[in-house]
Structure 1
Amino acid sequence: MGGEKYEKSKHSGHEEICKTFMARYSISNNTFILNCKKSLNYLHVLEDVKDSFVRQAQGTLYLHLWLYDKELKNVIHTKEQKDIYIDLLDLCFDNISYNIGTTYQSNIRTENFEMLKKLYDLYYKFDKTKYDKECASTKYNCAKQCFDLYKECIDVCRQKYNADYCNELESFRNEFNKYISSEPECKDKDLYIPWEMFASKSVILLIPLVSVLVVSTFFFILYKVIIIIYKRIYIAKTFLLHILI
């Protein structure tokens, strides 16, 4: 019973934080409170696990992308996306005294957000193509969305010429091509992604790198994140995103 009271007290301030944030940005979406509370619960887990600063930054970054995809992309504002998320973290500091926010702020830069978001979307669409019921009868259309988004990502690769970003796209290309070659609805349908010569070239990196561990089943994990952290064997699949910080 004492443990249950502790768990309740740990998260007692989350709803108030979410309501304050909701009012600050005039958010009316009725799903925001639920997704915001899931996010803060996950931040609490990151804090309690006492992982390394890098691992905490990884988890906080991925949570940013998840919350952006679910809610923050609909917020009308004049700020950078990172700054909106920092506002939410600041509310956490004021009310719950988290330490991981400073780790996030010191490691994640605004200019990398769009690059990371495209990679996030790419793998998200790919997972939907493979596993989502909506794509069960429309495999080609779902795979085509991945194909088109990949072309956008490659354009970013050409512009930024970031070795880690481009190499991650090459890893995705191999995985995607292997998948469509095994799917009758996608095979021989002009979805094969050709090799980009520069994708695996090495370049001199002037900025340190951090690898972000991204779990493809993260949307389910947010519901049962404590179980996942302590029983990583249940994570079905992981992949790495490499970013500049």
Structure 2
Amino acid sequence: MKVLYNAILKYFKNDFARSYKEYKKELDSYISPSDPVNIHSCNEYVNQNIKGLKYDASKVCTITVRFLSHLKEKHNTFDQENGYKYLYYWLSVEALESKLSIENTLDLYKDLNKIFNNENDGHNIFDKYINQMNKYTCNNLKKFIYLYEVFNKFESEQTSKGAQKKCTSDCVDLYTTYVDECKKAYDYDFCNNLKIFREQYNFFIQKAQFCEGDQYLLPPVEIFDTVRMVIVPFVLILITFLISPLLYKFTPVGPWIRHILVKKRNVRDNIIQEQDHILHNYEMNKDDSKKRYYMLSYNSS
């Protein structure tokens, strides 16, 4: 079953979910004690926020610079951007054990990125990514990747030999919580990421686990934007109101509209004249009938 599922998943569109496993595997390879590689620019690196943690400052610097060098060699913007984002997650959760605030973690990341640029031929290629990161986006990034951590663990357990089939996982509660948050904040990027996760999760439940019934599937992410529904029509009306005089005066639209209006007015006038003519003839015929009636009455007397 695992072979079949992997063969199908090969064509599944969510590349980030697969790539992130590769990022983790690459970073884990740098942690091994059998890997003696050192980065000269990291040997004397010190950071006051990295004390008494799993790795010392020099080790964190070395792993970070090596991974950025690895991403640089890929020459693929998808891998570079998503790998760079995953590295933030690794720094925050793995290296710093979630003990630093998002702001302090970002400051550390920027510091290490500067070392990569200045002393390891980074050429500032990742600056655009870190400049887009802030407290809010990093918080959502951690949630999104953690959701995949939970899913990957569930997937690995269920596709192992002799596993007892399960149709539900801890992903359901996490997903539901995150959907509520993205809808309340009108965060379309976060909501879209959750939509992608939902497709992969439901794909696994249906095609690998063969679980039947909607109760085992993640519900859709439906975000109802009242503000946008009100503003968009108003803006369209305003734009139409502003450009209509210009179209009427300086483009062929004006003469065309005047022609249509004149034509309609002529048709209307013709209809009115025809109605008046018919009414006049009716009145004349009516008067003639009365006259003949009176004449007949007079003659009969």
Q: TM-score, normalised by structure 1?
A: 0.59
Deviations 1:123-155 (A, max 9, x none): 2221221124898747649x5211111012102
The count of aligned residue pairs is 191
Write 1 or 2 for the structure with the bigger share of strand: 1
Q: CA RMSD in A?
A: 4.1
Alpha-carbon distance in structure 2 between the residues aligned to 1:50 and 1:188: 43
Q: CA deviation at 1:35?
A: 6.4
Q: Note the 1:1-245 alignment, pairs <5 A.
A: 12-13=39-40, 16=43, 20-21=46-47, 24-30=49-55, 37-49=62-74, 56-76=80-100, 79-93=103-117, 95-98=119-122, 99-132=124-157, 137=163, 140=166, 143-182=168-207, 190-198=215-223
- Answer yes or no: is the 8 Å Cα contact 2:158–2:165 preserved in 1: no
- Answer yes or no: is the 8 Å Cα contact 1:122–1:150 preserved in 2: yes
Alpha-carbon distance in structure 1 between the residues aligned to 2:88 and 2:69: 14
Q: TM-score, normalised by structure 2?
A: 0.49
Distance 1:151 1:15, change over 3 A: same
Q: One-letter code of the match for 1:121?
A: Y
Alpha-carbon distance in structure 2 between the residues aligned to 1:81 and 1:57: 18
Q: Secondary structure at the match of 2:170?
A: helix
Structure 1 spans left out of the alignment, 5+ residues:
1-9, 205-245
Q: One-letter code of the match for 2:116?
A: C
- Answer yes or no: is the 8 Å Cα contact 1:125–1:146 preserved in 2: yes
| Bigger Rg, structure 1 or 2 | 2
Structure 2 spans left out of the alignment, 5+ residues:
1-36, 230-301
Give percent identity, aligned residues only: 22
- Answer yes or no: is the 8 Å Cα contact 2:102–2:139 preserved in 1: no
Q: One-letter code of the match for 2:87?
A: L
